[in-house]
Amino acid sequence: MLTFSLTVVRHGETQFNKEKLLQGQGVDTSLSEPGLQQAEAAGLYLRELSFSNVFVSNLQRARQKSLRNDVHSSGVEMVFDPLLRERSFGIAEGRPKEDLKNMANRAGQSCRDYTPPGGETLEQVRLRCKKFLKSLYQRMVDDHGCSGQSSTAVGRGAGAAESGTDGPLPGLPDNGMEGVPLHALVVSHGAYICVAVRHFVEDLQCSLPQGLKMSKVLSACPNTGISRFVLIVSGATNRPCCLCLACSPLSTGILCL
Residues at the annotated binding site for substrate?
10-17, 61, 97
**Catalytic: which of 40, 86, 93, 120?**
86
Q: Which of 11, 40, 93, 189 is catalytic?
A: 11
Whether 77 sits among the annotated catalytic residues: the reply is: no
Taking Cα atoms as reference points, which of 68, 236, 245, 233 lies closest to residue 137?
A: 233
What's the first-to-final CA gap in the chain, in angstroms? 40
Q: What is the dihedral of CA 99, 102, 108, 114, to 10 degrees?
A: 20
User: Which residues are annotated binding-site positions?
Assistant: 10-17, 61, 97
Instruction: Return all residues near 79 (Cβ < 8 A) that are at least 6 apart.
Output: 53, 54, 55, 56, 139
Q: Annotated catalytic, 144?
A: no
Which one-letter DSSP state was computed for residue 234? -
Q: Quote helix, strand, coil % in the chain, to nearest 5.
A: 35, 15, 45
Catalytic positions are 11, 86
